[in-house]
Amino acid sequence: MKKMEFAKEPKGFFLRVKCSGCGSEQNIFSSASRTVKCLSCNQVLAESGASKIKLKAKVLKSF
Ligand SMILES: [Zn+2]
């Protein structure tokens, strides 16, 4: 049986972060190419960097 392959992203993974401003949790992609802001309070959670994002929020877990 052939295995389904969706996202072939060897360097990508998701991060569960907690906003330090309002405390809401959000999933962000580790190789996001642009700034990620909190959906609730608009605080910057991560900024895009050269090869990977720079996190500004607390990481709860990665998956
Ligand atoms: Zn927030």
In a domain, 1, yes or no: no
Give the HSE-up count for residue 28: Cα atoms under 13 Å, Cβ half-sphere: 30
Domain membership of residue 6 (yes or no) is no
Would residue 40 count as lying in a domain? yes
- pLDDT, tens digit, 9 for 90 and up, residues 21-42: 999 999 998 887 889 999 999 9
Boundaries of domain holding 54 = 14-62
Tokens of 19: 């906003």
How far is the centre of ligand 1, averaged over its atoms, from the C-alpha of 2 (Å)? 42
Supply the mean pLDDT for the chain.
Answer: 86
Q: How far is the CA of 46 from the centre of ligand 1 (A)?
A: 12
User: 59 CA to middle of ligand 1, Å?
Assistant: 14
- The answer to whether residue 21 sits within a structural domain is yes
Instruction: State yes or no: pLDDT of 50 exceeds 80.
Output: no
Identify each DSSP E strand in the chain by its residue range. 14-18, 25-29, 36-37, 44-47, 54-55, 58-62
CATH of the domain at 29: 2.20.25.100
